[in-house]
Structure 1
Amino acid sequence: MSDRIRTFEVIVSGYADFEEVMAANSRVALLLCPEPDHSGPCEVPWSLAARTEPEEEYPTGTGESVVAAICATPERAERTAESIGALLGRPARLVEADHGELLDQYRAERGLTD
């Protein structure tokens, strides 16, 4: 795999309802950004969402899913997915996905814009 920065989704499925996903998302947010009031950008730009699997492009199970979108190298994305899966005690699936807003954020925070 190339070392260039890309966007990915880490998907953790099998939650019973939206409230359960939101509780899990809170835990993932603290994993991705342990000090929310830090100065400067997060090391890995990220966002969180919830998903009902049968309605989406990357089905990984039944029920509601935690979806963490991240901007990272493939190696870093794999480590992040493993960490999220371990934190939640469930399998985490990593897929490359289009999250151009995270790439824009990454570039802007690092002064890489034209």
Structure 2
Amino acid sequence: MSESPSIWEVRLGIHATRQQAEEIEERIVGLLCPDPDHTPPCPIPWSASLLHGSGLEEDDPYPELVEQAEAEKHIRP
């Protein structure tokens, strides 16, 4: 028995510049819809959005990313 489709959210936190974040978003969109010129609708409806940390509902949803970025700063040549 299959279940009915519903909304799912996949979250990805990244520590990046705005340009890097936009490039990553474009790559993800390319994975979701590898043929942007196809006849609508998409087989699996989707949407993507890019949010800066200050616009997130949670105060600090990815503290481990900041910690990891700080630690890696000290080991990069």
Please state which band the TM-score falls in when normalised by the shorter chain. Answer: 0.5 to 0.7
Deviations 1:45-92 (A, max 9, x none): 1111112335423564157xxxxxxxxxxxxxxxxxxxxxxxxxxxxx
Identity %: 29
- Distance across 2 between alignment mates of 1:55 and 1:26: 20
Q: 1:9 to 1:22 in 2, by over 3 A?
A: same
CA-atom RMSD in angstroms: 2.4
State the one-letter code of the partner of 1:44.
I
1:68-83 to 2 correspondences below 5 Å: none
Which residue does 1:27 correspond to in 2?
Answer: 27
- Distance across 2 between alignment mates of 1:10 and 1:60: 14
User: What TM-score results when the alignment is normalised by the length of structure 1?
Assistant: 0.45
Which entry has the higher C-alpha Rg, 1 or 2? 2
1:29-108 to 2 correspondences below 5 Å: 29-53=29-53, 55-57=55-57, 60-62=61-63
For these two proteins, the number of residue pairs brought into alignment is 62
Q: Which has the higher strand share?
A: 1
SS at 1:22 equivalent: helix
Q: Give structure 1 stretches of 5+ with no counterpart.
A: 64-114
Q: Give structure 2 stretches of 5+ with no counterpart.
A: 66-77
- Distance across 1 between alignment mates of 2:10 and 2:61: 11
- Distance across 2 between alignment mates of 1:40 and 1:14: 31
